[in-house]
Chains A and B, each alone.
Chain A
């Protein structure tokens, strides 16, 4: 009897010690630093919905990842770096700790790079953030698949070359860059300057200040300068204003190319028919004709699990698809991390290793219900971007649809690689640390 009591007491004690560990395994904490308010909300809402819906689908349909449910914790940043920092500090210690951060803001990314490196939590910047973070030897915890702004700039110029009928025709041409006057908008400048040198075109830089509604002067300059092509690095309300202004000065829309963040439905719809022919880069396919989206409609929206139930008819918008892409990358990295460490209790450090071993082949994309959605992904210790494939999409105003008008092409890595090396080493030197060595 006495013995049984002792045994019971020991069991209880053991259980109470085990209990927190068991509770830890019950969920994957994934903060979503999103924004549904402010001048950047037009882009922020569909992206945040895509990301949240993907994990809601995994939870509802598959019971989470390997039986562990994902807990997507939304935190409103308003695209403001100070609020972003507050959100980061608030969410990083929830439960067993946050496993990945996706701030959807280049400014917040820059803010968080040193912090996540110290806290050992992966920072995943899908198509934005610091380009030189591709160098995993310097930026250990930052990942930027599948494309960076520098890649985008080279593909935009590739498209210009194709349209003009060869590299030789670029000589003496005038190309203007209309950009958001922030770290985000300035990213492509260095690459474009290099390309201008290489191909002999003339580059004009036209900054637009936050939030980007005031662009009259910019477009007056374009009207006066008569550039052959206009590239745009804009976000939020800035895009729709730019497209409207371009149409009001009758700039030919097919010579106006936006980066992927300037290629959403919200950006072109306000300009109506005038936006017809406007182009934008993209790293995912357009539309909602993928088996995964049918699953989302039944399991997430059908069961009332969506964060934003009114969004149902907008599934398949370009920014939404990028949110889905981000969700897939994070989920697959978590799956990989579980496989490597053979555990369901992950830490940020393990997820980092999952990212560095991440490989999503075309077959795997099809298996996930997204055949032909994007190119294959393969990251490594020193290469945190992996293979990059970027296409050009064009807006059809009468059908109110985007359509890809080119294949997924590779960016000019020969141009960007030396620049990445230079920029990342400068970062290491500025912060006086020695880059790690990758095998």
Chain B
């Protein structure tokens, strides 16, 4: 009734190829963006910003990166934590070596450094596939973390191997360090996430994205119709690592402010991001947002509900939360193996024919 394309005629190719061909989607997106940019900033406080919104945005960016690789190109990776670490350490080295550099530039450069490293570790993907590739990226995970632990140049010889983000600005606004207002931090991350999502959406709709999906669906057939596996797989690794690296720089610089390699970028991180992508929905932009929201917000919501509202002890609520989270993940994947994004899509399809189902 409300969500229907009746009367929306497309008379030229531009209209036909719009990101959101249906007007309701377009307006919906404008409303979401308006809320994110114009309404949320009025309500953001330290807790909401630092504990909920910043991690949500940053994890979304990283999940988006992994989704490009796993969801769109079908190359399984367990090295996300390591690529985040590359982004973080690159931003740390850039921040300390060039104190005057705008932090936005640092973030983008860190993305490029990570893209380079990611492509390097993507090289084995030409020969190996599936689980074997997962193991190869796992090696990247362990090797890179070991390297950052071992070589003191990466952490500027600090006594403990811990890195700290100094205070840096972007366009005269302070965005890193403890004194940076949460509003600036929020906007800074939000702009990066918006741009990244918009860019990725367009890339996956175009030639490169179609090549990725061809390789994902059947690599031999793709090769036969003229898709080059080398460039295709490497561009997937590069774009994916670029996004993950930018996410890593924001993760360390804007959100955490300090990090140690084993704990902040461990294998747990790789799994967490992979879960976000799988639960959210492989091969969808929406899925990255939903997956990050699900896996970051639910544990906190459970915790707050059980401790503050029900008055349970912290240990009990932590155990219950782990059980509930696991059960929910299994439930969602049984109900809809294609993730939360697919549920949303089905909902929209149902809405289109409502109130007259077939």
97-112 of chain B: CB within 8 A of chain A? 99
Contact of A36 (CB < 8 Å), options: B96, B160, B178, B314? B314
- Pick from B46, B160, B164, B264: contact of A92, CB below 8 A: B46
Q: A90 vs B51: C-alpha distance in the bound complex, in angstroms?
A: 8
Interface segment among A178-186, A271-279, A353-361, A394-402: the answer is A178-186
A182 and B159 in contact (CB under 8 A), knowing A36-B315, A92-B46, A207-B149? no
**B251 vs chain A, min Cβ distance (A):** 10
- Chain A residues with Cβ below 8 Å from B24 are none
Within 8 A of A (CB), among B142-194: 149, 156, 158-162, 164, 166-167, 177-179
Q: Does A381 contact B (CB under 8 A)?
A: no
Q: How far is the CB of B30 from chain A (nearest CB, A)?
A: 31
B315 touches A76 (CB 8 A): yes
**In the complex, are the beta carbons of A210 and B46 less than 8 A apart?**
no
Residue of A nearest to B251 (CB): A82
Please determine whether A210 and B258 come into contact, CB atoms closer than 8 angstroms.
Answer: no
Query: Nearest chain B CB to A213's CB is how many angstroms away?
Result: 14
Residues of A within 8 A of B178 (CB): 114-115, 117-119
**Shortest beta-carbon distance from A249 to chain B in Å:** 25
Which residues of the other chain, A, contact B158 by a CB distance below 8 angstroms?
A: 423, 426
A423's nearest neighbour on chain B, judged by CB, is B159
Contacts of A78 in B (CB 8 A): 318
Beta-carbon contact of B313 and A183 below 8 Å:
no
What A residues does B2 contact at CB under 8 A? Answer: none
CB-CB < 8 A to A118: which residues of B?
A: 178-179
CB-contacts of A91-115 with B (<8 A) = 92-93, 106-107, 110-111, 113-115
Contact assessment for B159 and A75 in the assembled complex, using a CB-CB cutoff below 8 Å:
no
Q: Which residue of A lies closest to B260 (CB)?
A: A183
B260 is contacted by which of A75, A182, A190, A427 (Cβ under 8 Å)? A182
Report the bound CA distance from A80 to B51 in whole Å: 14
Chain A residues within an 8 Å CB radius of B96: 430
**List of A residues within 8 angstroms of B162 by Cβ:** 107, 110, 183
A132 in the interface, Cβ–Cβ < 8 Å?
A: yes
Interface size on A, residues (CB 8 A): 49
- Closest A residue to B264 by beta carbon equals A81
Shortest distance from the beta carbon of A45 to any chain B beta carbon, whole Å: 8
When the two chains form their complex, are residues A85 and B164 in contact, meaning their CB atoms are under 8 A apart? no
Q: Are B314 and A76 in contact (CB under 8 A)?
A: yes
Partner of B258, one of A80, A111, A186: A111
Chain B residues near A90: list those with CB within 8 A.
Answer: 47, 51, 304
Contact of B51 among A85, A107, A130, A184 (CB under 8 A): A85
Distance between Cα atoms of A184 and B161 in the complex (Å): 10
| Closest CB in chain A relative to B115 CB, distance in Å | 25
B257 interfacial contact with A, CB 8 Å:
yes
Q: How far is the CA of A81 from the CA of B149 in the complex (A)?
A: 18
Q: Given contacts A115-B178, A118-B179, A210-B263, is CB(A93)–CB(B258) below 8 Å?
A: no
CA distance A404 to B150 in the complex (A): 37
Instruction: Specify which chain A residues have a CB less than 8 angstroms from the CB of B129 in the assembled complex.
Output: none
Contact between chains at A432 and B256 (CB < 8 Å): no
Nearest chain-B residue to A187 (Cβ)?
Answer: B160
Query: Is A74 a contact partner of B314 (Cβ separation < 8 A)?
Result: yes
CB distance from A397 to the nearest CB of B (A): 29
B303 within 8 A of A: yes
A111 touches B256 (CB 8 A): yes
Q: How far is the CA of A168 from the CA of B278 in the complex (A)?
A: 62
The answer to the question of B266 belonging to the interface, with a C-beta cut-off of 8 Å to chain A, is yes
Q: A37-B315, A82-B256, A114-B164 are in contact. Are A131 and B263 (CB under 8 A)?
A: no
Q: List 21 A-B contacts (CB under 8 A).
A: A34-B314, A36-B315, A36-B318, A41-B315, A76-B314, A81-B264, A82-B55, A86-B50, A92-B46, A107-B263, A110-B260, A115-B257, A182-B260, A183-B260, A186-B159, A190-B159, A210-B263, A423-B159, A430-B96, A430-B156, A431-B167
For the complex of A and B, 10 pairs with smallest distance between CB atoms: A36-B315, A118-B178, A76-B314, A114-B178, A183-B160, A86-B51, A183-B162, A89-B47, A89-B51, A37-B318
Contacts beyond the supplied A86-B51, A431-B166: 19 A-B pairs with Cβ under 8 Å: A36-B314, A37-B319, A41-B315, A75-B307, A81-B264, A92-B46, A110-B162, A114-B177, A114-B258, A115-B178, A115-B257, A182-B260, A186-B159, A187-B160, A190-B159, A209-B262, A210-B263, A423-B158, A430-B164
